[in-house]
């Protein structure tokens, strides 16, 4: 990142701080939420009564634990994968798993009449176990992860479930709140790939900074 880019980011963060004022988040959580706002220019992500980011009790702690164990980061779509900082991934020593375009997944999707995102999550169950799931696009992917959790088929360290859209996005997030796993999510229709990737990027930066 160039000096000018760093300067722009720093200035952006100061604008966010000045415009948001007081908020409900602790220091670690605010680092995540602020980066989401930086990625989306949407202040609703800091407003729990609207589309504000929701953290379960040990969400960040579990993310750090997963990074320490080099747990996989399993994502729903290529756009989320593209938005994840590869330098941070390399520093932590983890890997990103995205099976949405895997030929076997495509065949399973056709043969079982399932969406590719659903098939991809089931296909990635081994990597999900103990890892971090990042869903920014497909509610069907989140529903499938929730189903596997309820079946005791997987136990991810953390689910970042923040799909966007008008069909099933809000409903799938409501179901995530009922699970027994740690999560980062929000309510309503807002979300998306930039939101999801900014959350995992923020968590990785926090983890790396704590190592130094």
Which tens digits make up the pLDDT trace of 148-201?
999 999 999 999 999 999 999 999 999 999 999 999 999 999 999 999 999 999
In a domain, 6, yes or no: no
Considering all CA atoms of the chain, what is the largest pairwise distance in Å, rounded to the nearest integer? 53
CA distance 73 to 95: 6
Tally of domains in the chain: 1
Q: Which of 64, 67, 6 is nearest to 38 (CA)?
A: 6
- Mean confidence (pLDDT) of the chain: 94
E strand or H helix at 183: strand 183-185
What Cα–Cα distance (Å) separates residue 155 from each residue in 89, 182, 183? 21, 10, 12
- We report the CATH number of the domain holding residue 165 as 3.40.50.10230
pLDDT at 117: 95
pLDDT at 98: 98
Continuous H helices in the chain: 3-20, 27-40, 59-68, 78-83, 86-92, 103-112, 116-123, 125-128, 139-150, 169-176, 193-211
pLDDT at 4 over 90: no
pLDDT at 102: 96
Catalytic site residues?
38
- Evaluate the CA torsion angle 34, 35, 36, 39 in order and state its sign: positive
pLDDT at 64 over 60: yes
Question: Which band of pLDDT confidence, cut at 50, 70 and 90, is reported for residue 73?
Answer: very high
Domain that holds residue 63: 53-211
Question: Which band of pLDDT confidence, cut at 50, 70 and 90, is reported for residue 1?
Answer: very low
Residue range 102-154, pLDDT digits in tens: 999 999 999 999 999 999 999 999 999 999 999 999 999 999 999 999 999 99
């Amino acid at each position: 990142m160039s000096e000018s880019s760093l300067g722009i980011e720093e200035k952006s963060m100061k604008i966010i701080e000045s415009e948001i004022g007081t908020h409900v988040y602790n220091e670690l959580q605010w680092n995540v939420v602020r980066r989401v706002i930086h990625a989306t220019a949407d202040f609703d992500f800091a407003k729990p009564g609207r589309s504000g980011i929701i953290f379960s009790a040990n969400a960040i702690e579990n993310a750090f634990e997963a990074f320490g164990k080099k747990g996989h980061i399993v994502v729903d779509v290529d756009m989320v994968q593209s938005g994840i900082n590869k330098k941070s991934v390399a520093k932590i020593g983890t890997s990103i798993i995205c099976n949405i375009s895997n030929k076997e997944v495509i065949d399973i999707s056709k043969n079982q009449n399932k969406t590719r995102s659903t098939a991809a999550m089931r296909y990635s169950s081994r990597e999900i176990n103990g890892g971090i799931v990042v869903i920014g696009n497909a509610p069907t992917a989140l529903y499938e992860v929730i189903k596997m959790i309820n079946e005791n088929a997987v136990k991810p360290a953390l689910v970042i479930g923040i799909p966007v859209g008008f069909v099933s996005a809000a409903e799938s997030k409501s179901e995530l709140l009922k699970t027994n796993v740690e999560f980062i999510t929000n309510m309503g229709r807002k979300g998306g790939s930039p939101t999801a990737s900014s959350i995992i990027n923020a968590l990785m930066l926090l983890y790396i900074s704590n190592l130094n």
